[in-house]
Homo-oligomer: A and B are copies of this chain.
Amino acid sequence: MNRRSLLAGTVGLVGSMVMGSTRSSAEPATDGLPADPTRVPGKAATPYGQRSSFETAGRVSRAWWASLTPLQDSHGILTPSALHFERHHNGVPTIHPAQHRLLVHGLVDQPWTFTLDDLKRFPAVSRLAFIECSGNSAIEWKGPTGKTVQDTHGLTSTSEWTGVALKTLLQEVGVNPQASWMLAEGSDAAAMTRSLPLASMLDEAMLCYAQNGEPLRPEQGYPLRLVIPGWEGNTCIKWLRRLKLGRAPFMTREETSQYTDLMPDGKARQFTMVMEAKSVITSPSGGQQIQPGFLEIRGLAWSGRGRITEVEVSMDGGRSWRQAALQDPVLPKCHTRFHVPWRWNGEDVILQSRCIDETGYVQPDRAALVAVRGVNSVYHYNAIQSWRIAADGLVSNVHP
């Protein structure tokens, strides 16, 4: 064989594939399929497509009120809307778009009720942004609990969001200079409600009616959702029906009984809106089994404070680090795909990734995070994730 190999220091990929060929060629099912698809005319065009019946990747539900994105099956930086994680407090309401209204009131010059058609007439803005539940990886506070990366990190997803800039809407109704907080309320059966400090989100918040090029999906807030890029998912109120401007936080149920961070001294930190920088290796990841030879380590990194500037990967539990390549486009407050080629020699190792964002913040390891936060918290766990690869190739979640 006279081949050049892309990967210096490894045997060619084709070589390593021969070794793995038994495993990589799963036994083909025959069940009525034509042996040769070129011999049978195919199906006609359809108004609205569906995925192949051979593909079954799905959101896993923790309960009826949450489902997680299968990050181990994800490609690129986008999450298909059908696989975007969901979290709701009393189920997904069914709302007729023509009946839906948004009331804007409180400390405004002119209270107003908007229909969806009204909102679509305003100048539109679009943005690719991740949304992460503040409870993403929450089970990891207790130890290495999640078995797969979907369990541990599946409450984050990225979409292109389109709607009206909050700023545009508020300029139209006129904001009283004394207004510094905004209450946002959903029209779900929980009437999910949060207080939001106005100044720190006014430049980026959007009232969205579209996701990934088409109207929002019901579980993502159809027909209207507040999206605040970089802030915890629960501030991105779905099924949005009301905005009220005021002088102080409204101290709703969600910011007292939930969404606070219990610190080691027993005090609770409130209004920790921003999701700090975080990364995770999605392949290989928990529950998978790999074979010796070449593979590409792949993962996602994101920061609620802006762009990811660097991701490093360790194949020895953090003793040494290798710089990963970042896939363009690297966008602020958006999933960033990283990858690094690797050759696994069959030894028991621990894989980790850590990211740095444009503010210079470095994703902490678990010990550093726990030193500050203790283990009383539920939310905002962003420690470095460790995947152990045992000698048999099985990948598992560990906290070394």
Which residues in A have some Cβ–Cβ distance to B below 8 Å? 1-6, 12-14, 16-17, 20-21, 23-29, 33-34, 37-52, 54-55, 57-61, 63-67, 73-84, 86, 88, 90-99, 109-110, 112, 114-115, 117-118, 121-128, 160-162, 168, 171-174, 187-189, 191, 209-210, 212-220, 222-223, 239, 294-296, 298, 327-329, 331, 337, 339, 341
Would you list 10 pairs from A and B whose C-beta atoms are within 8 A, ordered by A residue?
Answer: A2-B109, A12-B172, A25-B98, A37-B189, A44-B65, A51-B217, A55-B214, A75-B209, A80-B212, A126-B327
Among B50, B77, B117, B187, the residue within 8 A (CB) of A24 is B117
Chain B residues contacting A126 (CB-CB under 8 Å) are 75-77, 327, 337
- Given A2-B110, A6-B172: A94 in contact with B14 (beta carbons within 8 A): no
Chain B residues contacting A1 (CB-CB under 8 Å) are 109-110
Among B82, B86, B214, B239, the residue within 8 A (CB) of A83 is B214
Among B48, B55, B124, the residue within 8 A (CB) of A59 is B48
- Given A2-B109, A75-B213: A82 in contact with B50 (beta carbons within 8 A): yes
A219 near B45: Cβ-Cβ < 8 Å: yes
- Given A33-B94, A37-B94, A214-B73: A86 in contact with B162 (beta carbons within 8 A): no
A44 near B215: Cβ-Cβ < 8 Å: no
A327: nearest residue on chain B (CB-CB)?
A: B126
B2 near A210: Cβ-Cβ < 8 Å: no
- Given A28-B98, A110-B3: A124 in contact with B339 (beta carbons within 8 A): yes
A17 near B118: Cβ-Cβ < 8 Å: yes
C-alpha gap A139/B63 in the complex (Å):
52
Cβ distance A4 to chain B, nearest Cβ, rounded Å? 6
B125 near A327: Cβ-Cβ < 8 Å: yes
Chain B residues contacting A16 (CB-CB under 8 Å) are 121
- Given A42-B189, A91-B43: A51 in contact with B215 (beta carbons within 8 A): yes
A160 near B217: Cβ-Cβ < 8 Å: no
